[in-house]
Structure 1
């Protein structure tokens, strides 16, 4: 069986490293519409194709430091650069693993901490990602059952956590939860703030914390 190819994908961290800019700069580019909607979302995390990111380059404004592109490509094993994704990439994150195995996200995290889950094939913007075949092989080796219906839907590309570029509906489909409104917490409400952030991360949203002065 041949080695499965992985499309070159970049999250906020990889984009910042590629252009040698501050870590929060890609988020600012998104707010200014310089960086468009993500090409794919995996486990609630946005990622862009390399071709999309390279389109941001402008001589004298947004230059790539010499050798930086080659460094990035070397970090993606057996990577390739499609212009568009014809279907969802063969990568899944912790949320998809929990869905396939019928477990909670915390269960998957415990498997990782105990060493009872195969290491991720790569990590993008701090998020572990696995090839689907890597997970299925590991499950077979460990005698770990998978949810057949969830697995079939993932294979078809009908994933509740993955939306193609241009769709702006909730990242976590088939969920009873709606996107919560932004909230402001005072110093005396630290416990409530921590609980709020933990809840958002648990259901798959990204969190942006901003200081607020009255």
Structure 2
């Protein structure tokens, strides 16, 4: 089993500081939390746990870290390591990146493959979303091909290389505006 870096999404980040998940977005909007401290996967920000734990000390009004929540997050994620910045993280993918990697006709193809148990188990489930190491997905290609009825499951090496070196700019690479103000942003 590969040791993975500990990560947090909005919900987990908020739990570390005993606030509602919406507060993380407010910190981003106010400039208290730099969006560059997160990695974007399938249009959602995720932070290295090491950074998230230090965040409270870096703000104008210090925030107390809930050490019990940190411990629970680490236990839930299994054997891992504390990364401090997005640059330390390996290539991480969600369903949108997987669709692009395999040039699948729709995200439903991935969702169905996951739901039927033919896709590898996610390496993380954060804020309700499954995330995988790129290597986990690529390592499952032979099994995916064997169980496929019509999909080729041929990985695009250029997309894989872009995901690895942090230059991927396809679907899922940007944070999408959500909520009641999403239409106004267009």
Name the TM-score, length of structure 1 as normaliser: 0.68
Distance 2:173 2:136 in 1: 24
Q: Which of structures 1 and 2 has the larger relative contact order (alpha carbons within 8 angstroms, sep 6+)?
A: 2
Report what 1:198 is aligned to: none
Report what 2:92 is aligned to: 91
Structure label with greater radius of gyration: 1
Report what 1:189 is aligned to: none
> Are the aligned partners of 1:6 and 1:90 in contact in 2 as well (CA < 8 Å)?
no
Equivalent of 1:207 in 154, 160, 178: 178
For 2:130, what is the secondary structure of its paired residue?
Answer: strand
Name the TM-score, length of structure 2 as normaliser: 0.77
Please give the root-mean-square deviation of Cα atoms over the aligned residues, in Å.
Answer: 2.6
Q: Which has the higher helix share?
A: 2
Superposition misfits of 4+ residues, deviation over 4 angstroms: none
For 2:56, what is the secondary structure of its paired residue?
Answer: coil
Report what 2:164 is aligned to: 155
What is the total number of aligned residue pairs between the two structures? 169
Distance 1:142 1:124 in 2: 24
1:68-87 equivalences in 2 (<5 Å): 68-86=69-87
Give how far 1:121 is off. Answer: 1.4
- Name the CA shift for 1:205/1:106 in 2 (closer, same or farther; >3 Å): farther
Report what 2:142 is aligned to: 140
Distance 1:88 1:71 in 2: 21
- Give the unaligned 5+ runs of structure 1: 163-169, 173-203
1:144-183 equivalences in 2 (<5 Å): 144-161=153-170, 171-172=173-174
Distance 2:17 2:168 in 1: 31
Report what 1:100 is aligned to: 101
Equivalent of 1:33 in 31, 34, 37: 31
- Is 1:22 the counterpart of 2:23? The answer is no
